[in-house]
Structure 1
Amino acid sequence: MKAVLDRIEENQYAVLLVEENTQEFILNKNELPEGSKPHDWFEVTIENDKITSLKVDPEFALAQEQKVKSKRDRLKKRSQGSKFKRE
């Protein structure tokens, strides 16, 4: 399963969102792989409602980033500017 590191709270807790079953898991920050930061993607294994394995997935993270960039670019092309003009 895939999970994204949504945020770090109080500089101590890592909040992971699991994509497949829309679950949220809170881990101690020190349980993350070294250098992990918000918006990193992981391959996770869950057993008995607990994450038992966590591995960084940089290829999936890059693919997600490119997908978001593509959508943003399409929206910018459709945009006709603000309807509210300054005087």
Structure 2
Amino acid sequence: MKVSGVLDRIEGNIAVIIAEEAGRQFEVPVSNLPKGSQEQDWFWLKIKGEELIAIGLDETIKLEKEQTADRLINRLHERNEQ
């Protein structure tokens, strides 16, 4: 199964990735993340059973999430100006 997940936080050498579609989180060694990964980055995750078997940066979904957040912020600003 392939799902999306966001890097929620890094705790020492462990990265916590939230995969809402799968209804779970994964804890993986930071060394298994793509180079340059940061908190709030989005990834595609390949899951087999309960195991995360592959991970990669998903720039498309990251951009979509950023644009959605920008639109929401702009709406809030517009409401406050009225």
CA distance in 2, matches of 1:68, 1:56: 19
SS in 2 for 1:65: helix
Quick check: which one's strand share is greater?
Answer: 2
Greater relative CO, 1 or 2 (CA 8 Å, sep 6+): 2
More helix by share: 2
Aligned-partner Cα distance in 2 for 1:62–1:41 = 9
Partner of 1:66: 67
Q: Within the alignment, does 1:45 sit opposite 2:57 as a pair?
A: no
Cα distance in 1 for partners of 2:71, 2:23 equals 24
Root-mean-square deviation (CA, aligned residues, Å) is 1.4
Q: TM-score, normalised by structure 1?
A: 0.85
Structure possessing the higher radius of gyration over alpha carbons: 1
Identity fraction in percent: 32
Length, aligned pairs only: 80
- For structure 2, list consecutive stretches of 5 or more residues without a partner in the other structure: none
**For 1:21-80, what per-residue CA distance to the aligned partner results, in whole angstroms no more than 9, with x for missing partners?**
221110111010110001111111111211101011111101100101100110111125
- Moved beyond 3 Å, runs of 4+: none
Structure 1 residue ranges without an equivalent (≥5): 82-87
